[in-house]
Amino acid sequence: MAYVSYRKHVIQYLDDLIDSLVDNNYFSDLEKAEKYVHSIYDYYINNLHILHKSNATKYLQGELLEKHGHLCKSCTYRINKNTTWCAIYKTDGVRYIIVDVFNNHVVDYNEVKLF
């Protein structure tokens, strides 16, 4: 069985996302926002090892691409008809470390936080 973990800054981002979703009226209450964010966690934990993956080179730029592009993969999750999440991760085939997540609503994504 595969082992999937999230970097600390990814966990913090997703935890902060819960409040942001409620504050910006994407969800009417905290419980619905928590369920949404937990579905992102669960999707990758349960499916990352069996999903179609691609190189993350289209999300990395400059020095990050040169240093880490060959090490990183990406995998998308279409959570609803308007939003697709992307996880950038490293793997040795057994362990998967998610180093960043973002969605298609990010207009200018220039930095992947690899470490």
Name the one residue in this structure whose structure tokens are 């880490």: 68
Residue 40: phi and psi, rounded to 5, are -70, -50
The residue ranking higher by pLDDT, 11 or 108, is 11
pLDDT at residue 1 in the model: 63
pLDDT at residue 68 in the model: 54
Bridge partners (DSSP) of residue 103 are: 85
Tokens (6 digits) for 36: 């949404």
Q: Which long-range contacts (CB under 8 A, 24 or more apart) does 11-18 make?
A: 13/101, 14/40, 14/41, 14/101
pTM score, whole prediction: 0.81
pLDDT at residue 64 in the model: 54
Tens-digit pLDDT profile for residues 28-86: 999 999 999 999 999 999 998 887 667 665 655 555 555 555 667 888 899 999 998 98
The residue ranking higher by pLDDT, 21 or 104, is 21
How many beta carbons lie within 10 A of that of residue 5, not counting itself? 12
